[in-house]
Amino acid sequence: MVLSTVKWSVEDYHLMIKTGLLDDRPVELLAGEIVEMSPEGEPHAFFSSEAGNYLNRVLGDRAFVRHAKPITLPNGSEPEPDLAIVQPLGREYLTHHPYPENIFWAIEYANSSLEKDATIKYRIYAEAGIPEYWLVNLQTGELIIYRQPCGREYGSKMTLKDGNISPLAFPDAIVPVEAIISA
């Protein structure tokens, strides 16, 4: 006997949310599957909050930094990156979460979720055309920057422990790696 799993659409997922079926369940939709999110440890919560606040100050009104909120992707996914730096569309987000064309880059902080963030989310973000994906490895204290999405991969990868980086969307914004990793 072969078992088949059901792939959920974003619309199905929204209906489950609307009916309260997923209330109090920390989940996200990844490639049509409803996946439990790992609990946030103290370092994860601290670093992502501090980095989000820092990016808010650096980017000002040029971008909106969303903390652990959904983004809607065309590959049957609605992940909740730790930080999503998106176009500041204001009230438009009352009718939809940011789509790929609204997203400048996504940031994930990973400790217990490292394998998921480095494989599943990596592929989902690349496939959706998210131009830049920053993965903070809390185990090693490294910032891994992926750029140039092509299919389910990124064509460029940089691993940093110090120095400065400028996001592709804002080349004039100099971001010290320490502001993202060690706040």
Q: Is residue 182 pLDDT above 80, yes or no?
A: no
Read off the pLDDT of residues 63-94 as tens digits, 9 standing for 90 and up: 999 999 999 999 999 999 999 999 999 999 99
CB atoms within 10 A of CB 141: 13
The model scores a pTM over 0.85: yes
Please report the pLDDT score of residue 112 as a whole number. Answer: 86
For residue 7, the model assigns a pLDDT of 93
Indicate whether 121 pLDDT > 80: yes
**Given a cut of 60, is residue 183 above it in pLDDT?**
no
Residue 132 — very low, low, confident or very high, per pLDDT cuts 50/70/90? very high
Q: Which domains does the chain have, with CATH numbers?
A: 38-181 (3.90.1570.10)
Q: What is the pLDDT of residue 142?
A: 96
pLDDT cut 90: percent of the chain above it: 91
**pLDDT per residue as tens digits for the range 159-173:** 999 999 999 999 999
Residue bearing the bigger pLDDT, 41 or 102: 102
83 neighbors 71 (Cβ within 8 angstroms): no
Tens of pLDDT, residue by residue over 38-56, are 888 899 999 999 999 999 9
